[in-house]
Amino acid sequence: MMRSMYSAVSGLKTHQTKMDVIGNNIANVNTVAFKSSSVVFQDVLYQMTSNASGANAATGTGGVNAKQIGLGVTTGATNLSITTSGAAETTGRAFDIRLSDQSTTNFFVVNNGSENLFTRAGSFYVDGAGNLCMTSTGYTVMGWQVDPTTGNIKKDTVSALRVMQTSNLTSAPEATTQANVSGIIDKNDKDVLSDNGLVKTLTFFDNLGYSYTARFAMKSTGTDGKYTVELEKILNSDGTTFYDPETSNVDLSDIFGAKTTNATLGTYSQVQSGYYYDSANDNFYVGSDANGRKISWDPATNSFTDGQTPATTYSLKQVYGIPDAMVSKIANKQATAAIKNGTLTITGNVTDYAIDFSTKDGTFTGVGARTSNNKTNTVTLNMSKLGNNPTQFDDITIDFSGLKDADNGGKSTAVMSTGSIDDGVTGKGKKLGAMIGISIDNNGLITGTYDNGNTETLGQIAVAQFANASGLEKVGENCYRTTLNSGEFDGIGVEISADGSSMTSGELEMSNVDLSTEFTQMIITQRGFQANSRIITTSDTLLEELVNLKR
Q: What is the pLDDT of residue 200?
A: 93
Spell 123-152 as b/e; 16+ CB within 10 A means b. bbbbeeebbbbbbbbebbbbbbbbeeeeee
Mean of the pLDDT values across residues 218-247? 79
When mean pLDDT is compared across 11-20, 54-63, 206-215, 279-288, the lowest value belongs to: 279-288
Q: What is the DSSP string of 471-505?
A: GPEEEETTEEE--TTT----SS-B-GGGGT-EEEE
Q: What is the pLDDT of residue 69?
A: 86
Per-residue pLDDT tens for 365-420? 333 333 333 334 566 666 655 555 557 788 888 888 788 888 899 999 999 999 99
Spell 400-435 as b/e; 16+ CB within 10 A means b. bbbbbbeeeeeebebebbbbbbeeeeebbbbbbbeb
Q: What is the pLDDT of residue 352?
A: 34
Residue 267 main-chain phi, psi, to 5 deg = -100, 10
Per-residue pLDDT tens for 71-114? 899 999 999 999 899 999 999 999 999 999 988 899 999 999 99
The mean predicted confidence, pLDDT, of the chain is 80
- Strands 351-358 and 226-236 turn out to be parallel
Q: What is the pLDDT of residue 109?
A: 97
Q: Which residues pair with 159 in a beta bridge?
A: 143
Per-residue pLDDT tens for 356-370? 443 333 333 333 333
Q: What is the pLDDT of residue 477?
A: 93
Q: What is the pLDDT of residue 247?
A: 59
Per-residue pLDDT tens for 136-173? 999 999 999 999 888 899 999 999 999 999 989 999 99
Mean of the pLDDT values across residues 509-525? 95
Per-residue pLDDT tens for 287-345? 555 555 666 666 666 666 766 778 777 766 665 555 565 566 555 555 555 554 444 55
Residue ranges of E strands in 501-547 = 502-505, 507-509
* Among the listed residues 289, 295, 285, 294, the one whose alpha carbon sits nearest the alpha carbon of residue 259: 285
Counting every residue written for the chain, the total comes to 551
Quick one: what percent of the chain has pLDDT higher than 90? Answer: 50
Q: What is the pLDDT of residue 103?
A: 84
Ramachandran quadrant class, 352 (left: phi over 0; alpha: psi -120 to 50; beta: rest): alpha
Residue 322 main-chain phi, psi, to 5 deg = -70, 130
Residue 461 contacts residue 438 (beta carbons within 8 Å)? no
Quick one: what percent of the chain has pLDDT higher than 70? Answer: 74
Residue 545 banded pLDDT, cuts 50, 70, 90 = confident
Q: What is the pLDDT of residue 402?
A: 83
Residue 493 main-chain phi, psi, to 5 deg = 85, -175
Per-residue pLDDT tens for 461-494? 999 999 899 999 999 999 999 999 999 999 999 9
Residue 82 contacts residue 485 (beta carbons within 8 Å)? no
The residues, ordered by sequence, that sit 6+ positions from 346 with a Cβ below 8 Å of its Cβ are 265, 266, 326, 330, 335, 336, 337, 354, 369
Residue 176 banded pLDDT, cuts 50, 70, 90 = very high
Choice between 340 and 230, residue whose per-residue pLDDT is larger? 230
Q: What is the pLDDT of residue 68?
A: 86
**What's the CA angle centered on 302, arms 297 and 307, to 5 degrees?**
45
- Strands 351-358 and 463-465 turn out to be unpaired
CA 240 – CA 234 distance, rounded (Å): 9
Burial status of residue 487 (CB atoms within 10 A of its CB: 0-12, 13-18, 19 or more):
middle
Residue 221 clears pLDDT 90, i.e. is over it? no
